[in-house]
Amino acid sequence: MQLRLAYYCSGHGYGHATRVSAFASALLTLNPPPVIYIVSSAPRHIFSQCTGIGAIYRYAEIDPIIAQPLAYRVDRQKSIDVLSSFLEKKDSKVAAEVEWLKLIKADCVLSDSAFLGCLAAKAARIPSILVTNFTFDSVYSYMSTLIVDTTPSLLHPDISSAPYASTFFPIDKPIPPDEILPLVDQVHAGFRCADLLLRLPGAIPIPSFTTHPSLPSPDWVDISTQSFTSEVIQHLLKDPSSCPLHPSTPFPLLSQDQAKLPSPPRSIIQSPLLVRPPNPSVYTPEGRSKFLSSIGIPKLAHDPDKTRILIVSFGGQVFHAPRSRSSSPAPSRPGTPNHSPRRNERRKQTMLNCNLALADGVLIKDPHLSPHKTKGKPKLSINTGEPMPKESTVIGSPTIAALTDLTNSPTRRNTTGHPQPPKASVLRRRSDSQRIATDQHLWLPGAPSAVRKSEFISPTMQCIPDFGENGSLLFPPALPMVITTPPTPLSAVPPGCNENPIDTDPMETPRLLPEDWIAVVCGASKEQDEDVEHLPEGFYIAPKGVYMPDLIAAADVLLGKLGYGSVSEALDSQTPFVYVSRPLFIEEHGLRLLLERDGVGVELSREDYEGGNWATTIEMAWNSGSEAKRGKRLEGETGKRQEQVKEMGGRVVDWIVDWKWKCAGRGAR
């Protein structure tokens, strides 16, 4: 019997797509293989692992998104507005999916966090299976948490008083529970339609299955520690099959002539880690060296005992190695004390008078500001404890969170079925000073434009989608267009700013990388691709289409956003993970627990990330995880995890077939 499966995949991020592709690929290795349809708003090329061996892709907008104006920030009100708009179209969307499921004669729906697929399956009178580590009813419920994201940013102080600041960086405030509850109830009811849960590692409570802990999800987190309560942690440590479950949702009886279908008994199966495997060759010295050469890393940096490699997996990035206004390096002044009130005052006045907003790693003149519009005394320091203007609003980093796999160029495969890295020439790197801040410049490593224009905004959802029209993943994908002037030329100095930087003490220079480390940047912006000569020393850009499991396996430390895709691939390769927190994503708590148990995770604060002070945290992560990393390199790719996933796929097929036989015995269907 060849089953026909519809696999719904949330379009919200990289992790959903990679794990759907991994599980679908495992299912397609069964004998006989099922027919699998991938349904998602994520672009087709993200699923190349499974579509290349037979999965069928169908584009559909099947879920709303969480609005993220910045990498680590969530726009709560925008997210709730998007959800409300989506739910207004829910019934028509479900009806369309039911017709399609009947058309393809689907036997079962699998869903990675998309409640619409579960609703449609129930209406079409077929079972559905959730494959996930979290559900969005918990995510939306968490919009009412009293934890407020007020982490200060290292942006120039004037940007927060710009007319557009409140549009791009809304003040974070909780959404009243009464406003959220009716919407969350609808999402929760959709997930309640699922009959089987394959609970992935790094899970948080799934309230549509287990009776406890229940919504609202803010109750799961201790505000004082900003971590799960001990009660929630104990729940997650239990065997999920022992947890009390909500009863099944019955199938609808559409007419008196229809036989009543038996509801599959609800159950939870603990899933192995769903992750794409690297090429086995990347764990050999020869294979690793060949891979690094293919992405532009020079031969002399291939010895892992002499050169360590950091992967930076934020997208849309622009990295610069700033120079002084003159052609010579900024003078070193070792005899100058670290803190000089007079020097700090000059720095403050210089920065306040420049009236420059930061975008794409370069300074752009803000046409809305003049030196006379800054009012009030400063009240928050950027880097010295000095105050900011009274009217300023504390805003977050402009760093765009990345999908670390940019596969919008065709991938080549070898005989093992693993994608081959695209051919790339060696990229240049500069030997300029690694200093990333001067009195007139605040260079945010990895920070893309706070005012970047995207070419695509969904006309139907009227929200910020996760994917641009060219298929590349954007996180956040779109921001309103604003008018800015071109980047300030080196020869052009704004009024009130000195020609040369002042007091550039070496002791105040943040360290991007430890000694003998290089960095490979994934998901760099188009601007950075065209401007590699201004990269900081030791920085390289990974070519588009690079196969991320190979890259992470070849690296020594990963730096990125805490999401399932990055965490799973770091764990699979035993690569220590330096992460920047997203405090309003409740999924993060489960991933933290997973890293603590099975890998190495070290948090890098936003301030240190934006300020380029990475080296100490990178060293800490490497010292903690180097032994396990070396052990994995000796062990290599064993294929054990893929066998575990294939075994789970067999259990899923047996579960579906068993239900179909029960229906046939009753004369149903």
SS (H, E, C) 246-265: CCCCCCCCCCCCCCCCCCCC
Best CA proximity match to 447, nearest among 438, 439, 456, 436 = 436
Q: Are strands 362-365 and 557-561 parallel, antiparallel or unpaired?
A: unpaired
Mean pLDDT of the chain, nearest integer: 76
What is the per-residue pLDDT for 255? 74
Number of C-beta neighbours around residue 101 at 10 A: 24
What is the per-residue pLDDT for 261? 87
Provide the b/e sequence for 590-622 (b: ≥16 CB within 10 Å).
bbbbbbeebbbbbbbebebbbbbbbbebbbbbb
Q: Let me know: does 154 contact 226? Beta carbons within 8 Å.
A: no
Q: Let me know: does 188 contact 195? Beta carbons within 8 Å.
A: no
Residue 328 has pLDDT above 50, yes or no: no
What is the per-residue pLDDT for 491? 35
Question: What is the per-residue pLDDT across 254-291, written as a single tens digit (0 to 9) for each?
Answer: 776 667 888 899 999 999 999 999 999 999 999 999 99
One-letter amino acid for residue 52 of the chain: G
What is the per-residue pLDDT for 150? 77
Strand partners, 291: none
Residue 374 has pLDDT above 80, yes or no: no
Task: Give the model's confidence band at 665: pLDDT under 50 very low, under 70 low, under 90 confident, else very high.
Answer: confident
What span, in angstroms and rounded, lies between the C-alpha atoms of 473 and 450? 17
Residue 80 has pLDDT above 60, yes or no: yes
What is the per-residue pLDDT for 395? 25
Question: Would you state the torsion angle of the CA atoms of residues 620, 621, 623, 627, taken in this order, to the nearest 10 degrees?
Answer: 170
Question: What is the per-residue pLDDT across 181-231, written as a single tens digit (0 to 9) for each?
Answer: 999 999 999 999 999 999 999 999 999 999 999 999 999 999 999 999 999
Q: Let me know: does 332 contact 507? Beta carbons within 8 Å.
A: no
What is the per-residue pLDDT for 479? 29
Number of C-beta neighbours around residue 226 at 10 A: 12
Provide the b/e sequence for 283-311 (b: ≥16 CB within 10 Å).
beeebbbebbebbbbeeebbebeebbbbb
What is the per-residue pLDDT for 525? 56
Q: Are strands 419-420 and 412-413 parallel, antiparallel or unpaired?
A: antiparallel
% of the chain with per-residue pLDDT over 90:
58
Question: What is the per-residue pLDDT across 434-486, written as a single tens digit (0 to 9) for each?
Answer: 333 333 333 434 433 332 332 322 223 223 334 344 343 333 333 222 222 23
CA atoms within 13 A on the CB side of 359: 23
State the alpha helices, DSSP H only, in 407-464: none
What span, in angstroms and rounded, lies between the C-alpha atoms of 560 and 577? 8
Domains of the chain, earliest start first: 4-145+178-277+639-665 (3.40.50.2000)
